[in-house]
A = this chain, B = another copy of it.
Amino acid sequence: MARVVVDVMLKPEILDPQGKAVQGALPRLGFAGISDVRQGKRFELEVDGELTDERLAEVHEIAEKLLSNPVIEDFSVYVEEFADDEDDEQ
């Protein structure tokens, strides 16, 4: 079992109103020096069994066909081993 992460971000040339809204809020909240914010999506997929090249190619296909819109978005796929949980504890 492995965790595969798919990050989906708007292409650089596409306007990102969500990111701009966050960026606009920062100075009002007292944070300076952030020159750009982009907001995208992160998907965590738990893949059963051994993660072969074939399975990884399948995840690529899922990312392209289901998780992203290739007209306006770029995606990247990477493997995050199952035992690791790198989330910060709150």
B29 and A38 form a contact (CB under 8 A): no
| Docked pose: A36 CA to B70 CA in angstroms | 23
Q: Is the CB of A87 within 8 A of B74?
A: yes
Give the number of residues in A that approach B within 8 Å (Cβ atoms): 45
Contacts of A61 in B (CB 8 A): 31
Of all chain B residues, the one with the shortest Cβ separation from A4 is B34
Tell me the bound Cα distance from A75 to B42 in angstroms: 12
Complex formed: what's the CA distance from A89 to B60 in Å? 12
> In the assembly, what is the distance between CA of A62 and CA of B77, in Å?
26
A7 touches B55 (CB 8 A): no
Give me the interface of A with B, judged by CB distance under 8 Å.
1, 7-9, 19, 22, 25-26, 29, 31, 33-49, 55, 58, 61-62, 64-67, 70, 74-77, 86-90
